Amino acid sequence: MSGVKTLSEFIIEKQDDFPFASGELTRLLNDIVIASKIVNREVNKAGLADILGATTQENIQGETQQKLDVFADDQFIAALKNGGEACGIASEENDDFLAFDSLRSKNGKYIVAFDPLDGSSNIDVNVSIGTIFSIYRRVSEMGTLATEADFLQKGENQVAAGYVIYGSSTMLVYTTGNGVNGFTLDPSIGEYCLSHPNLSIPKNGKIYSINEGNLAYCSDAINNYITYCKEIDKPTNRPYSARYIGSMVADFHRNMIKGGIFIYPETTKAPKGKLRLLYECNPMAFLMEQAGGIASTGKHRIMEIEPEELHQRVPTIMGSKNMVKELLSLYK
């Protein structure tokens, strides 16, 4: 296996970066890895197994749940519950957080917030989808049940965050606050292998990602910025290219590698935007900042927001430093 570093080897190597590390975070990350491999297996045979399409249920946000949303949610919950390192979880697909009540879980140091399946509208059409996760140290007393306060923490308090992209290959990208590293799943050995060490987003980019169909509902700042993106100006490499997949994970991943800006702003129809602070915006903001980019609502740094509720939504702008700065200057 010379030359190949697996994710498990990498995590163990990095364990010493944490003061007082005792292996729990390593085991917690491993639980997430296992669940992601099971989800990956189902995603890969989605057209064959009876896993395409919608269920008859809606989630708390009033969105119809896809079968794969529910499957992925169940897998991550089971892995984290059985692992015993997390005292509870909150998921985009569940109304409330879950506090695990086994003795081992009650003594777990961490909570995990996740979007089990990001990009649900792309499942049935074979376009990249993902999973997003965010890990915090609990604030409630060890040995007791997790409380809502454990989940309503600022993004700045995250201990680790990451995503899995089920794309042309499957990758896991994560940070523990010491940079961002990406691992590609080698299906022949069933292991994630280090393929993208020290990921950083280019300072300047050429890609803008927004659902332009919503522009009529967007502010002047957003409309003016998109007009700016389309203007011809050789010195600043404009016009930029429009790329929008509709899976945040995939749009984020492409922009991080190539340079770009991802925007899901407030609109007159959705005054707080669409994306969810706990499950989508905070983990992606942590990764974006660790990769050298900026993550903002337009008015505030995302990771400084004090969450008020589990399913809170916030406007989202993230990407290459100079591109985000250009847009933010229009907000003033």
118 is a contact residue toward ligand AHG (CB under 6 A): yes
User: Using the rule CB under 6 A, which residue among 31, 73, 115, 266 binds ligand AHG?
Assistant: 115
CA–chain centroid gap for 25, Å, is 18
Shortest CB 115 distance to Mn ion, Å: 4
246 binds, among ligand AHG, Mn ion, none (CB under 5 to 8 A by kind): ligand AHG
Query: How many Cα atoms are found within 13 Å in the side-chain-facing hemisphere of 226?
Result: 20
Residue range at the interface with Mn ion (CB under 5 A); choices 27-35, 84-92, 144-152, 165-173: 84-92
Residues binding ligand AHG: what is the number (CB under 6 A)? 12
> What is the C-alpha end-to-end distance of the chain, expressed in Å?
54
Shortest CB 14 distance to Mn ion, Å: 27
Instruction: Name the residue among 98, 174, 109 with its Cα closest to residue 137.
Output: 109
DSSP 25-59: HHHHHHHHHHHHHHHHHHHHTTTTTTT-SEEEEE-
128 is a contact residue toward ligand AHG (CB under 6 A): no
118 is a contact residue toward Mn ion (CB under 5 A): yes
94 is a contact residue toward ligand AHG (CB under 6 A): no
Q: How far apart (Å, rounded) are the C-alpha atoms in residues 321 and 247?
A: 22
274 binds, among ligand AHG, Mn ion, none (CB under 5 to 8 A by kind): ligand AHG
Alpha-carbon distances of 128 from 245, 252, 253, 255, 257, rounded to whole Å = 8, 12, 11, 14, 16
266 is a contact residue toward Mn ion (CB under 5 A): no
Cα-Cα-Cα-Cα dihedral sign, residues 83, 84, 87, 88: positive
Say if residues 79 and 86 touch (Cβ distance below 8 Å): no
73 is a contact residue toward ligand AHG (CB under 6 A): no
Shortest CB 249 distance to Mn ion, Å: 8
The residues that touch Mn ion, with contacts defined as CB under 5 A, are: 92, 115, 117-118
The residues that touch ligand AHG, with contacts defined as CB under 6 A, are: 63, 92, 115, 118-120, 211, 246-248, 264, 274
